[in-house]
Amino acid sequence: MDTDRIEGKTKEIEGEAQQKWGEAKDKARDTWEDVKGRGEDAVDEAEDHWDARDEKDDRVETSRSR
């Protein structure tokens, strides 16, 4: 009888540990996706900034050459 209770409790603890591990992995994945998204946004913003700067430089050069 005691062995059954011990085995049952062991399996219960093992299941809880697996659940916590799964939750930790999900949270880590979500955090990674958030960070990756922010990095992509920063790159896009920098590219837009440089494109706008290049366009401005092109307009200045065109007006000077006239």
Residue by residue, DSSP assigns 18-49 as: HHHHHHHHHHHHHHHHHHHHHHHHHHHHHHHH
pTM for the predicted model, two decimal places: 0.59
pLDDT of residue 54: 74
In a domain, 45, yes or no: yes
- Indicate the helix (H) or strand (E) that contains 1: none
pLDDT band, residue 58 (cuts 50/70/90) = low
In a domain, 4, yes or no: no
- CA–centroid distance for 55 within its chain: 32
What residue numbers bound the domain in which 62 lies?
35-66
In a domain, 6, yes or no: no
What's the mean pLDDT in 39-66?
79
In a domain, 9, yes or no: no
> 60 or 22, which is more confident?
22
In a domain, 24, yes or no: no
In a domain, 51, yes or no: yes
In a domain, 62, yes or no: yes
Task: Tell me the per-residue pLDDT of 46-55, one tens digit each, with 9 for 90 and over.
Answer: 999 998 887 7
In a domain, 2, yes or no: no
Quote the number of domains for the chain: 1
